Amino acid sequence: MEKSRKEQIIQSAAKLFKEKGFEAASMRDIARTLGIEAASLYSHIKSKDEILELICFRTADELIKAIDEVNDLYFNAEEKLSMAIKNHVKIITENLDSSSVFLREWRHLTKPKLKEFISLRDRYENGFKQILVNGENENVFDAPDKKFAVLTILSALNWLTEWYNPNGKMTPDEIAEHLTEFILTGLRVKSVV
Amino acid sequence: MEKSRKEQIIQSAAKLFKEKGFEAASMRDIARTLGIEAASLYSHIKSKDEILELICFRTADELIKAIDEVNDLYFNAEEKLSMAIKNHVKIITENLDSSSVFLREWRHLTKPKLKEFISLRDRYENGFKQILVNGENENVFDAPDKKFAVLTILSALNWLTEWYNPNGKMTPDEIAEHLTEFILTGLRVKSVV
DNA sequence: TAAATTGCCTAACAGTCGTTAGGATAAAAC
DNA sequence: GTTTTATCCTAACGACTGTTAGGCAATTTA
């Protein structure tokens, strides 16, 4: 069975929102990619805003589910961080369009939903923060300013949407490995033990 | 002497483009913040597109000038990287609105200017890449995939526009220091030498 | 003092926007 | 066989978009 019309609409919209931005992509643009008229979209969705909400909140839910799982399943902080990064990279690379919209276009969410979204995002960041606290207790991480560290880590992960190419040489897992290595040990030459 | 009207327009536009996005911010919005009519803007600027171009290319020029200077003035790779990061943070934090537009809204540049912009951005990235090559030759950096490393570093720097608060506790220089430290040595506990 | 320039105005343009109303057609469910 | 449901259509709405034309008043220059 192929995807429901609604799902097709959301997918097309995500691609266009990514390419042109939420405001610049019109309902008529979305309709055109599906070979129908703009008015016909409204048999499947309530509004343009609703499409954006669906895209943003789905991705948010997926990320939160992943970080909660990691914090539940693993004990070791290094392992936790490594898994969290792997999951993040996986979710982003497997849903490039939605992820870009999630990261770039959430600003266009309207009032009540916007607040809800931001609190979800904060919750995700706290999941990462928790890992850093764990790592400090285990004496393997050194990050005095946790919030700063989390934002720096996530920024490195999120920029993926700007340059990741599904046809490139690196697989998502390789990217995750590189990033983990980079985040853990930085640029400096590793001393031979 | 206060800023020219043109400069005021660009500044107001940058703020609005940052807050609402390029497409969502209208000429009437910009005019309103200056207490004039939208049509009056055209005594000072050619088009909405021109405003975006001015914002994007100014920031690009400033960044490129800074990286070229660093590569000219310093020899030591670690010092170079540290200075490059410091300059980047300085430029971004001192021009938060323009920088956000530069990073987020450049997609809306139109055809010929868009290409020009991308090549400037590439040139900036190459400036950083050069530093990593230096560091490898000096045997102080270990980054097999230079492009990957540069993108990861820049992503950490660029996310600043998303969370930096001029009224926050950290000064730009402190932020730059933290970032340099993070990029150089990562999260891991530093062994006592 | 006359001429030119600057900075703004009102009015309007052609086009696009998201969305609704109301109806047609075909397939699925009862 | 009738009703429901899904999917699409045309036509139109009011609002808003970037931009131009043409003119008025004040300031600066010659």
Domain interval for residue A37: 1-45
The 3-state DSSP class for residue B79 equals helix
- The answer as to whether B70 is a domain residue is yes
**Same-domain pairing of A91 and A35:** no
Predicted pLDDT of residue B144: 87
Tell me the three-class secondary structure of A140-161, residue by residue. CECCCCHHHHHHHHHHHHHCHH
- Residue that is written with structure tokens 């940052």 in the block: B18
Give the distance from residue A175's alpha carbon to the nearest chain B alpha carbon, in angstroms: 9
Both A10 and A80 in a single domain? no
Q: Between these two residues, A64 and B162, which has the higher pLDDT value?
A: A64
List chain B residues with CB under 8 Å of A21. 21-23, 107-108
Residue A2's pLDDT is 57
Contact A145 B179 (CB under 8 A): no
- Looking at residue B185, its pLDDT comes to 86
Residue A191 located in a structural domain: no
Give the pLDDT confidence score for residue B1 in this predicted structure: 44
- The whole-angstrom separation of Cα B42 and Cα B62 is 26
Is B107 close to A186, i.e. CB distance below 8 A? no
Predicted local distance difference test score (pLDDT) of residue B78? 93
Cα distance between residue A189 and residue B14, in whole Å? 41
Q: What is the CATH number of the domain that holds A161?
A: 1.10.357.10
On whether residue A192 sits in a domain, the answer given is no
The answer to whether residue A71 is domain-embedded is yes
DSSP B188: B
A143 has a chain B CB within 8 A of its CB: yes
A115, part of any domain: yes
Portion of chain B with pLDDT greater than 90, in percent: 88
> How far does chain A reach from its first CA to its final CA, in angstroms?
57
Spatial distance from the CA of B39 to the C1' of D22 (Å): 12
Contact residues, B window 13-32, toward A, CB-based 8 Å cutoff: 20-24
Q: Average pLDDT of A167-184?
A: 93
pLDDT of residue A76: 92
Which residue, among B152, B159, B190, would best test binding to A if mutated, counting the most A CBs under 10 Å from its CB? B152
Same domain, yes or no, for A11 and A29?
A: yes
d(C-alpha B42, C-alpha B30), whole Å: 12
The whole-number average pLDDT for the span B164-171 is: 93
Examine the domain organization and report whether A53 and A33 are in the same domain: no
Is residue B37 situated within a structural domain?
no
Measured between CA atoms, the residue of chain A closest to residue B168 is A148
Q: CA–C1' distance A4–D1 (Å)? A: 29
pLDDT of res. A136: 92
Q: Is the pLDDT of residue B188 over 90?
A: no
- φ, ψ dihedrals at B141, nearest 5°: -110, 150
**pLDDT of the residue at A18:** 97
| Residue B74: per-residue pLDDT | 81
What token pair was written down for B175? 């932020």
Distance from CA of A75 to the nearest CA of B (A): 17
CA neighbor of A99 nearest in space, from A18, A167, A180 = A18
The total of structural domains in chain A comes to 2
pLDDT digits (tens, 9 = 90+) for A121-165: 999 999 999 999 999 999 999 988 999 999 999 999 999 999 899
Please give the pLDDT value at position B191: 61
Residue B1: Cβ-neighbour burial (10 angstroms; 0-12, 13-18, 19+): exposed
Q: Same domain for A97 and A19?
A: no
How far apart (Å, rounded) are the C-alpha atoms in residues B102 and B83?
21
Of A104, A139, A162, which has the smallest distance from its Cβ to B189's Cβ? A139
- Shortest CA–C1' contact from A30: which nucleotide? C18
Within-domain flag for A137: yes
Using CA atoms, how far apart are residues B193 and B183, in angstroms rounded to an integer? 20
- pLDDT at A97 > cutoff 90: yes
Q: What is the pLDDT of residue B2?
A: 58
Helix (H, G, I), strand (E, B) or coil at A188: strand
pLDDT above 50 (res B14): yes
**Runs of H (alpha helix) within B40-190:** 48-73, 77-94, 96-104, 111-137, 146-158, 160-163, 172-185
**Structural domain contains residue A193:** no
Q: Please answer yes or no on whether A189 and B158 come within 8 Å at the CB atom.
A: no
